[in-house]
Amino acid sequence: MTDPTSADQELRARRALSFGPHAAQYAEHRPDYPLPALRWGLPERADSVLDLGAGTGKLTEGLLALGLRVAAVEPDPGMRAELARRQPEVPVHAGTAEEIPFGDGEFDAVLAGQAFHWFDLDPALTEIARVTRSGGTVVALWNHDDETVPWVAEFNRLARSGVSRRWLSQQAELPAHPDFGPFERMQFPHAHRRTARTLVDTIATHSYLLTAPAEEREAMLDRLRDFLERTPETSNGEFDLPIVTTVLRAVRR
């Protein structure tokens, strides 16, 4: 019998490596992050920041819009290539949260969008602290659908599968670490302009579907298409998918 912990670790590893072959699709269909959420996470007079686990640069785009100097670290070569194609002015480095290829105290803030749940948290926070100046911040962001809206809650109920997991975005806090003060939490309203087709395309970029058996994947996507076609809010052209952006930040001691 497979050990449950080993099985979870294997699934986690497969999911973490599932995005690269679909990098262009990920970049096209995943939402960005609201600028007020980024501003809240940053320390005063922030200038140089690191997008850690940067993926295709969805968070990088917002940081550039705030006029910041941005460097990016991403372990997946497919995602790095897509980020470099979309944001050629941003230096993109191979690396992980546990081994960041920069010197001590180089950044005013280290931010991770939709990525902290892939990190080995204690060594990652130690390494993030190393590259963050005193008084700087570590910032974790997640976009998740606003399930206070009834059709969104029903859609997400249909979208859940036997391999789905609750990530840290649904937890109250990140673990304490001696190099950082306590984590603070804030939520920001956001929206993602979609059609029925593009919303299904967005769901198809989630790791639990990228790693699901083909038959299970297609059956779920068919159920979601059918629901969106029958739902008044989503059946007629473009609509705004209500999103909540959860942000956790802590200050480097």
Q: Any idea where the domains of the chain sit in the sequence?
A: 4-145+164-193+242-251
pLDDT per residue as tens digits for the range 63-88: 999 999 999 999 999 999 999 999 99
pTM beyond 0.95, yes or no: no
pLDDT at 212: 81
pLDDT category at 124 given cuts 50, 70, 90 is: very high
First to last CA, the chain: 46
Residue with the two structure tokens 């399930």: 147
CATH topology for 4-145+164-193+242-251? Rossmann fold (3.40.50)
Encoding tokens for residue 169?
Answer: 């975005």
pLDDT category at 208 given cuts 50, 70, 90 is: confident
Distances (CA, A) of 48 to 15, 54, 74, 138, 231: 30, 15, 17, 13, 45
pLDDT at 10: 47
pLDDT at 5: 55
Q: What is the mean predicted confidence (pLDDT) over 34-48? A: 98
pLDDT of 20 higher than 60? no
pLDDT category at 252 given cuts 50, 70, 90 is: very high
pLDDT at 125: 98
pLDDT at 159: 87
pLDDT at 206: 82
Highest mean pLDDT among 10-24, 89-103, 212-226: 89-103
